[in-house]
Amino acid sequence: GTGSNILSALQDLFWLLKSKVEKQLQIISVLQWVLTFLIMGIACTLILMYILCTDCWAIAALYLAWLVFDWNTPKKGGRRSQWVRNWAIWRYFRDYFPIRLVKTHNLLTTRNYIFGYHPHGIMGLGAFCNFSTEATGVSQKFPGIRPYLATLAGNFRMPILRDYLMSGGICPVNRDSIDYILSKNGSGNAIIIVVGGAAESLNCTPGKNSVTLKNRKGFVKLALRHGADLVPVYSFGENEVYKQVIFEEGSWGRWVQKKFQKHIGFAPCIFHGRGLFSSNTWGLLPYSKPITTVVGEPITIPKIDNPSQQDVDFYHSMYVDSLIKLFDKYKSRFGLPETEVLEVN
């Protein structure tokens, strides 16, 4: 009896220690990604400049020569690595929140797609985990479909960061890159565009479900030009993981944010999450709130080389209606009341 009790106690201790180690690994995995998002580009640029001024300058010079040679690779679909996409660190990243991907319809490998991802949130955590890694099994759920998460083109001008992003299947959100993937890369491609962009990030806050979409029609025009089906995607919980200071329209803070958005492409946000060692303190780590990304039903889009504004408006209206229906169908399953309404701005 005594031996059995000791064995039981040791097993309980083992599982307790394992649980604590896993939690710490989850925190580390999320922290490295947040730091990558915020400072990796600038840090790598400064380090490269420093190395050029040392005895190891030849290493930096060789990399810069490679950078010039490889400059246009991001515009041609990038250079994804299944090894990087399957890193164990992304599974810890997934489990921290946790993040889940929900499939509602099959996607044909004979078609190309543009996924509209909503909402942006502060960092687009769900978009990254679901489509730039294999942590939630996107390749198993949509076999034969190659996802490309589109992000700011400026990120691909940053040394090292550009290669890191490309390894996950991330591409620039510009016309050259999207045209290449949808016209010269065969079929079975899915470009994920966070439609609301920086403007939407300025309004994201816990408890609010709103999207910036009314005047965002460029992605619809691209879909028509290439005959790529549109797929609405809504990520429940994306706005819950950070708290943000919201500046009112007309305030000096909103003026500064809009100037940055116009001239640089992103809007600086004043936000916070939890601390590194305690969830009761402020810090850069997101709160561990569940994020559930639901991929909706594809909208069949015809190929029109020069779509008229009437064509664009028609399919944009279809897309908005489809997104609202998707939200309404799944909102109660993921913790929202039936009375919750998706605000479309």
Cα-based distances in Å from 184 to 74, 153, 344 = 14, 20, 34
291-295 and 99-103 strand pairing:
parallel
Q: Is this structure's pTM higher than 0.85?
A: yes
Q: Which residues of 133-169 are buried (b: 16+ CB within 10 A; e: fewer)?
A: bbbbebeeebeebbbbbbbebebbebbbbbbbbbbbb
Nearest to 118 by CA among 272, 288, 345: 345
Cβ-Cβ contacts under 8 Å for 98 (sequence gap 6 or more): 290, 291
Q: Can you name the residues that pair with 294 across neighbouring β-strands?
A: 102, 234
pLDDT at 2: 59
pLDDT of residue 21: 87
pLDDT at 201: 86
Residue 63: φ, ψ to 5°: -65, -40
Q: Distance (Å, rounded) from C-alpha 236 to C-alpha 273?
A: 18
| Dihedral sign of CA atoms 84, 89, 92, 93 in order | negative
Tell me whether the omega of the peptide bond preceding residue 206 falls within 30 degrees of 0, making it cis. no
- The domain limits of the chain are 3-344
Question: Along the chain (345 residues), what's the average pLDDT of each consecutive run of 10 residues?
Answer: 58 64 93 92 93 93 94 93 96 97 97 97 95 97 97 92 96 94 94 91 89 95 97 97 84 79 73 86 93 98 96 97 97 93 94
Q: Which H or E element spans position 65?
A: helix 57-69
What is the amino acid identity at position 100? R
Non-local CB neighbours of 233 within 8 Å, separated by 6+ positions:
115, 116, 117, 118, 192, 293, 294, 295, 296
- pLDDT for 259: 79
| pLDDT at residue 17, as a whole number | 66
